[in-house]
Structure 1
Amino acid sequence: MRRRIAVASAVAAVAAGIVAAPAAHAEGRGDIRVTRTVVNGGGNVIVGVKDVKRFTISMTVKDNSGVKKVSRVSAFNTANGYGPVDYLGSTCKKSNKTTSVCTATMQVDPAWIDSYGSGNRGWDANAVAGEWQVNATVQANDGDYWISDRIALFKVKRAASLTTDATPEPVRKGATLTVTGKLSRANWTDRKYHGFTKQVVKLQYKKAGGSYSTVKTATTDSKGNLRATVKASAAGSWRWAFAGTTTTMKVDSTGDAVTLK
C-alpha cells in the first residue's frame, strides 16, 4: 500500500525560489544538515488530469560521521497546507566520507487530489496548485538527526493546452488572416480540461527557418477562446503563446503554417 504524506498545519508565506538551505525552521541533534535541495531538476511540477506525475527531490546531506538515510520527506502548499502527494521512498549515494546525495521519489495522482480534501467544507481541489515547500528528516551514522522544514520551495502547476488555427489557407498576399485558438487548463475536481478565461495570450509569427516573434496579443473569452486578425504579408507559421501563471503552466501551441496564393 502506498504511503500517504499529508500535512495540514498553517504555514507562513515565504519568498519564491527553488533551492533553500539551511532550513527556515528545524530541530534535532548533532551536526547533520541538508545543505542543498533541488526539486524536479529545478523545474515546475506539472500535473494534468489523468497521468500520475512522479518527480524527485534531490538533497545534499552532510555529517561528520557520514549520512545514514533520509527517513521522511513531505511536501505541501505553503499557503494552505494541502499536500496530496505520496512519498515513495528515497536512496542515498555517498559522495565522500561526510556527504551523500539523497534522492526522494514523490508522486501526485490526479485521481486522488479531489478526494484528499473532500471532508473539508468548501474544499477546492485546484487550490492545491501554487507554491509548495519540502520538509525532510535526515539521520547520520553516529545517531545525529535533523528534522528540516522548508528546505526547498517549488511550484505545482495545473497542466494547460493551447491550439491555433489560421484561416483561410492559402491566403492572398495582403488579405486578412484570422487566427483562432483555445486555452484550456486541467481542473482537478472533475479531471477535465476547461477553458481558461480572461488570460492575455501572445499571437506570434515566424518565417520559414526563422524564430517566433510577437505580433499582437488577445484575451481569452468566457470559454477560453482566442481570435485575432492580421494582414498576410508573407508565408509563415502562426501560433499562440501563453506565459503561464503561478498556478498554471506556460504553453505554446503548435504552429500553423500558412502559404500565399
Structure 2
Amino acid sequence: MRIRATVAAVTGAMALSAFVAPSALAADSGSSYKADVAKVLEAAHHAAGKSAFSSSAAAEPQPYQLDVTFSNFKIAKAVKIGTTNHVSTTVTYTLNHGADVDVTADDFLSGPYIYRGSFTDQDNWLIGDEPATCKVVSATAETCTGKIDAYPGDGELASSDAGTWKGAAIAIAYNGQLDTDNGDITKVGLAEQGSLGTTLVQRVSRLTVNAAPEPVKKGATITVTGALTRANWDDNKYHGYTGQSVQLEFRKKNSKKYTLVKTVKTDSRGNLKTTVKASVDGYFRYNFAGTTTTPAIAAAGDFVDVK
C-alpha cells in the first residue's frame, strides 16, 4: 500500500507506544486515528508480504485475525474533489462479528476507506479523519456511519488517481495495547475487507459561456465562447480539459427548457468557440456530460437580446 501524507511505512517490529491513547481519539483532530490505522495495516501487509519460504516469516509480528466481516456498504456514486478544499463523503455499512468480539470496548474502532488498484497491492487510499460511529443492532451486528475525508492540497492525490475506486472497511481491537509503554502488535485484532462497493473519485470541473454581441440584430452572427477546465491534483490549479465534446444549448426567453443547438469540441487549452445565427431572445449555455474522471457540469445561461 502506498500511503501519501499520512505515515511512513512501518516494517519489522512495531512500537504501539507511538500511538495516542484511545481516550484522546475523540478530542483529537483525527490525524492520530488515520496514522494509527495506517501503522496497523502496514504491519499486517508487511508481514503478509513475506515469502512463506523465508526463515523470518514466522517471526514477523502482525495483528491477529479478528472475527469481523462487513456488508451493506453504501457510498455516493462520485466524490468530487477540487484543488485545495477539504472534501468529505458519508459511508454506511454493517459490521458483523463473532460473539467473542467486544465491539463495545473503548479501544475497538471501525471505519470505511476507499482505495485505488487491487486490494492486495493498493496504489492509494483515502480514509476518514475519525472512526465510524456504530450502533449495536443485535448480539452479532452493528450499523455504522463513517466519513471519507480528502485533502487535495496536502498531496494525498495525483491527477492520475481520478477514476474508479473501491470501498473497504476495517475493524481494529487494540485490546489495551495503546495504553502500554511497549504495545504488542500480536495482541491487536484486525479485520480488513475490500471490494465492498465502488465510487468515482473525480476532478472538479468548471465551465463558462459568453454569447456576443448583445444586443444583436435578428439574422446576425452570434459568437459563443467558453472554457472547460478541471482540477489538477499535481499542482493544485485548474487546467483546460482538451478534446472534449460539449453541447451548446439554447433556451428561449420565458421557456424553462434548453434544446441542443450543436456539439463543440474543446481545443488544446480547453477553450470552446462556435457561431450561430440570432433568431429570438434567449439564453445560450454549454453543457458537459462528464467522464469517469470528471463530473458533468452546465454553465449558467448567458442572455442575448435579439432586436
Could you state the TM-score of these two structures normalised by the residue count of structure 1? 0.77
Q: Mark the CA change 1:109 to 1:29 in structure 2 (over 3 Å): closer, same or farther.
A: closer
Comparing 230-239 and 86-95, the one that deviates more: 86-95
Specify the code of the residue in structure 1 equivalent to 2:152: P
**Corresponding residue for 2:93?**
59
**Corresponding residue for 2:116?**
77
Correspondence 1:167 to 2:212: yes
1:28 offset after TM fit, Å?
5.6
Correspondence 1:216 to 2:249: no
- 1:95-244 to 2 correspondence within 5 Å? 95=137, 99-113=141-155, 116=156, 125-138=158-171, 146-207=191-252, 208-244=254-290
Q: State the alpha-carbon separation in 2 of the partners of residues 229 and 180 from structure 1.
A: 9
* Structure 1 residues 120-146: Cα deviation after superposition (integer angstroms, max 9, x where no partner): xxxxx2111111112212489xxx985
Q: State the alpha-carbon separation in 1 of the partners of residues 136 and 304 from structure 2.
A: 55
* Structure 1 residues 126-177: Cα deviation after superposition (integer angstroms, max 9, x where no partner): 111111112212489xxx9853211111110001100000011112122211
Secondary structure of 2:306 counterpart: coil
Specify the code of the residue in structure 2 equivalent to 1:109: Y
Correspondence 1:37 to 2:73: yes
Q: State the alpha-carbon separation in 2 of the partners of residues 191 and 95 from structure 1.
A: 43
Structure number with bigger Rg = 2
Secondary structure of 1:83 counterpart: strand
* Structure 1 residues 87-126: Cα deviation after superposition (integer angstroms, max 9, x where no partner): 222101345565432111121111122xx58xxxxxxx21
The runs of 5 or more residues in structure 2 that have no matched partner are 1-28, 46-63, 174-188
**Corresponding residue for 1:14?**
none
* Structure 1 residues 175-195: Cα deviation after superposition (integer angstroms, max 9, x where no partner): 211111000111111111111
- 1:5-16 to 2 correspondence within 5 Å? none
Q: State the alpha-carbon separation in 1 of the partners of residues 110 and 142 from structure 2.
A: 14
Q: Mark the CA change 1:107 to 1:235 in structure 2 (over 3 Å): closer, same or farther.
A: same
More strand as a share of residues: 1
The answer to whether the 8 A contact 2:226-2:271 is kept is yes
Specify the code of the residue in structure 2 equivalent to 1:191: N
Superposition CA RMSD, Å: 2.9
Comparing 156-165 and 92-101, the one that deviates more: 92-101
**Corresponding residue for 2:82?**
48
1:243 offset after TM fit, Å?
1.0
The answer to whether the 8 A contact 1:46-1:249 is kept is yes
The answer to whether the 8 A contact 2:112-2:147 is kept is no
Secondary structure of 1:246 counterpart: coil
Q: State the alpha-carbon separation in 1 of the partners of residues 212 and 102 from structure 2.
A: 62
The answer to whether the 8 A contact 1:73-1:87 is kept is yes
Question: Structure 1 vs Structure 2: percent identity of aligned residues?
Answer: 34
Secondary structure of 1:127 counterpart: helix
Specify the code of the residue in structure 1 equivalent to 2:114: A
The answer to whether the 8 A contact 2:112-2:127 is kept is no
Secondary structure of 2:195 counterpart: strand
Secondary structure of 1:151 counterpart: coil
| Count, aligned residues | 229
Secondary structure of 1:221 counterpart: coil
